[in-house]
Structure 1
């Protein structure tokens, strides 16, 4: 249908890796993957500022919302890219995964790395539909931090207009059915798009390939969750490995959505 929404969650890996996985060597593959699939919304993780600017140069149909997790342009982003001709940004913001979420770069749960959430309230110009998109990257070391992050995220989403749909994308650094996943999906608070349709691409694969595993590991650690009146047409993992090379150490996950 013409009003369907293709949403992608994609950890692009930061630009610190060296050859053969440097950003300079990977960004052309990222561009090709994104141009081929043409997602309407992309929740990205790990981009540094130079990667954000490269993305905008490579993808002129998109604009973005984001903030470096250390404040300003510093540190990794949980940036949201969107097709600028289709969507209008009504509101946007950021908060940190800590006991003091409004304090820039705050860390209070024992994890070492600063973690951030970026959110946008969009209007879809095709149908005037209003909705929220949240995007994040949970800690890779601390299970306590991941669980507390899930509680804070769920609490924050619970405070917005319950009549408006919500899309949550992210690298959650946890397998599906883990404790953070259960927290986010308990009692139907959020639903996993993966199980809202029978049309699944590469359903046997995971999403963390680590630059070496074409099967993407053992499970999906990247999820697209939703709340509200949303129907899922299809989902999938884009496991592209052109000439045996990996655009990122994660495979992107996608979901085609309809607002009902």
Structure 2
């Protein structure tokens, strides 16, 4: 099967479907104004990893019930980058609408096109301009859309984007976002090895930030050892300040202090992490997802 790359159309201009890019290079905008090259070069970047929980109609945690809470959370936090997991196409369109015109996103369904869950990356267009992106599948045939060769419970994938930071003198960096299998440890281990191989190429020339739901606890699984053994650092551990630790999967129950942190944000050396937080935001007893978002404030070095 030939390689194929697809993405939802960008709001500001790319209205036709984009395909057959290896990888696809996007038009860039040059940073403007004195702040871009001057005082702004150390303005921290806010990054969030957020398993959205796919849009379902099952009450009491349907997407229609959770959408207003998700909107309130994102408007309060205003991350510059959000690595999302599990979002379905219309659900992502809803979030795009709720965030307003200053945000855009990049992603494709794990079954191709708009089909299946996405590992989409949202970004604040006032701060960031995408230069290049690609997708790969967590399988022995990573360039084949929808492939699942390691016995995982479902198809899994990763999306990466190379950004230009418009506020910080045009500095470039990459974000890789993923979601590992929830059933097979073998599939997770193989996926981690694939991700670090791909990450090595991305992080060779630019700082790299990895967001994801890894479905295993930090510090207590070979998947974690593989990711950190490749030179990535756990931003939770390197942060100058941290919130209270909670298990990031809470299943809509009250968050458990000291629980397993299965959602991580990792980064290459040289990235300074000012703060790491696990958000327990809820409204009227409703959580935005069955996962708690993980957030960091960082400087790219």
Question: Offset of 1:240 from its aligned partner?
Answer: 1.2
Report the Cα distance in structure 2 between the residues aligned to 1:236 and 1:135, rounded to whole angstroms: 18
Report the Cα distance in structure 2 between the residues aligned to 1:216 and 1:44, rounded to whole angstroms: 23
Kindly provide the CA deviation profile for residues 144-171 of structure 1, in whole angstroms up to 9, marking residues without a partner as x. 0111110000011112351310000000
* 2:87 aligned with 1:47: yes
Deviating 4+ runs (over 6 angstroms): none
Kindly provide the CA deviation profile for residues 72-126 of structure 1, in whole angstroms up to 9, marking residues without a partner as x. 0000000000001211111001000000000000000011300010000000001
Aligned CA distance change for structure 1 residues 84 and 216 (closer, same or farther; 3 Å): farther
SS of residue in 2 equivalent to 1:55:
helix
| TM-score normalised by structure 2 residue count | 0.83
Kindly provide the CA deviation profile for residues 179-201 of structure 1, in whole angstroms up to 9, marking residues without a partner as x. 101100016x1000001124111
Q: Which residue of 2 aligns with 1:141?
A: 183
Q: Which residue of 2 aligns with 1:247?
A: 288
Kept in 2, the 8 Å contact 1:48–1:76? The answer is yes
Kindly provide the CA deviation profile for residues 43-88 of structure 1, in whole angstroms up to 9, marking residues without a partner as x. 0000000101101100012100000000000000000000012111
Unaligned runs of 5+ in 2: 1-39
Kept in 1, the 8 Å contact 2:52–2:87? The answer is yes
* 2:194 aligned with 1:152: yes
| Equivalences, count | 258
Instruction: Give the number of the structure whose alpha-carbon radius of gyration is greater.
Output: 2
> What is the 5 A alignment of 1:153-168?
153-160=195-202, 162-168=204-210
Aligned CA distance change for structure 1 residues 78 and 216 (closer, same or farther; 3 Å): farther
| TM-score normalised by structure 1 residue count | 0.96
Q: What is the root-mean-square deviation of aligned Cα atoms in Å? A: 1.4
* 2:120 aligned with 1:79: yes
Which of 83, 106, 109 is 2:147 aligned to? 106
Which of 226, 229, 246 is 1:183 aligned to? 226
* 2:165 aligned with 1:124: yes
Unaligned runs of 5+ in 1: none
Kept in 2, the 8 Å contact 1:207–1:216? The answer is no
